[in-house]
């Protein structure tokens, strides 16, 4: 595995306690960064930090944290402005945040558009789209002041193609792609680059929110005939979060196993 240079960088990773978020934390720690895991589940954060410590990834470095100086975690409700702002203040009090990975998301289950409950539709948009807006709102000003930053938004192939029986999820991820493009243009002269990725499905705990029929549908659409591994997604995220990514902003990077046609 190649090592991308993130020495001295600090990252906030939303949904960092499991799945793609935790895989990204591991890869960033291996690359020299410090990480702050934001997640709604405090017990999962504790388990994730213990796991990272057991792997010897949380040695000395900036950032603070009971399980090691290079990893810490905060319970955050990403749909709540006050919760996000408080977590941002806490993170920034320990040092600059150079990287924001907006990974947290929910599927909201499956159903025809007209059969989905409005509350589920709204909740999916709140977590998957409003959440990244609130985290950017809280952390972007400090990146502008520092003259450096990298933001990576985890969208989905569903945001490009629109999965049937998942209009709420597809719409939220399409919105995240649009947010990425707008924010990237707004920050283009500030030294802060904003990009997003559009993965095919990864077999993580999020599968528990989907029907087996929908899981089978997603697999049938992937030419490589397998689901993407969280570590594969993490590798792309970490490159986009590094100084090696220097001339891409507002861009959409595909990692769908050949499913995407644009």
Tell me what the mean pLDDT of segment 225-242 comes to.
94
Let me know: does 119 contact 79? Beta carbons within 8 Å. Answer: no
Residue 65's pLDDT is: 45
99 beta partners: 11, 150
Q: How far is 98 from 101, CA to CA, in rounded Å?
A: 10
pLDDT tens sequence across 115-147: 999 999 999 999 999 999 999 999 999 999 999
- If you search the block for the tokens 């220097």, which residue do you land on? 246
Mean confidence (pLDDT) of the chain: 93
Residue 25's pLDDT is: 98
pLDDT tens sequence across 66-112: 444 799 999 999 999 999 999 999 999 999 999 999 999 999 999 99
Q: Collapsing DSSP states into helix, strand and coil, what is residue 164? A: coil
SS3 content of the chain, % helix, strand, coil (to 5): 45, 15, 40
Which residues are annotated as catalytic?
169
Answer yes or no: is pLDDT of 182 > 90. yes
Domain locations along the chain? 10-247
Q: How far is 137 from 133, CA to CA, in rounded Å?
A: 6
Residue 158's pLDDT is: 94
Q: For 109-166, where are the alpha helices, taking DSSP H only?
A: 118-125, 131-146, 157-161
Instruction: Please tell me the CATH code under which domain 10-247 is placed.
Output: 3.40.50.720
Answer yes or no: is pLDDT of 191 > 60. yes
Tell me what the mean pLDDT of segment 26-44 comes to.
98
% of the chain surpassing 90 pLDDT: 81
Residue 60's pLDDT is: 60
Give pTM, 2 decimals.
0.93
pLDDT tens sequence across 168-178: 999 999 999 99
pLDDT tens sequence across 12-32: 999 999 999 999 999 999 999
């Amino acid at each position: 595995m190649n090592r991308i240079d993130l020495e001295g960088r600090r990252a906030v990773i939303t949904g960092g306690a499991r799945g793609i978020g935790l895989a990204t934390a591991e890869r960033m720690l291996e690359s020299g960064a410090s990480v702050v895991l934001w997640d709604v589940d405090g017990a999962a954060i504790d388990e994730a930090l213990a796991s990272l410590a057991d792997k010897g990834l949380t040695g000395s470095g900036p950032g603070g944290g009971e399980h090691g100086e290079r990893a810490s975690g905060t319970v955050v409700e990403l749909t709540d402005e006050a919760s996000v702002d408080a977590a941002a203040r806490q993170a920034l009090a320990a040092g600059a945040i150079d990287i924001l990975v907006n990974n947290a998301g929910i599927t909201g289950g499956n159903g025809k558009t007209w059969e989905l409950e409005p509350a589920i539709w709204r909740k999916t948009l709140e977590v998957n789209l409003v959440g990244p807006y609130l985290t950017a709102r809280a952390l972007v000003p400090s990146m502008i002041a520092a003259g450096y930053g990298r933001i990576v938004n985890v969208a989905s192939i569903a945001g490009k193609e629109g999965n049937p029986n998942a209009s709420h999820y597809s719409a939220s991820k399409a919105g995240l792609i649009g947010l990425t493009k707008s924010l990237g243009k707004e920050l283009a002269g500030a030294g802060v680059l904003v990009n997003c990725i559009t993965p095919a499905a990864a077999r993580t705990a999020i599968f528990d929110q989907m029907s087996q029929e929908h899981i089978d549908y997603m697999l049938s659409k992937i030419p490589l005939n397998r689901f993407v591994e969280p570590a594969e997604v993490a590798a792309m995220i970490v490159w986009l979060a590094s100084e090696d990514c220097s001339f891409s902003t507002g861009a959409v990077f595909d990692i769908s196993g050949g499913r995407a046609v644009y």
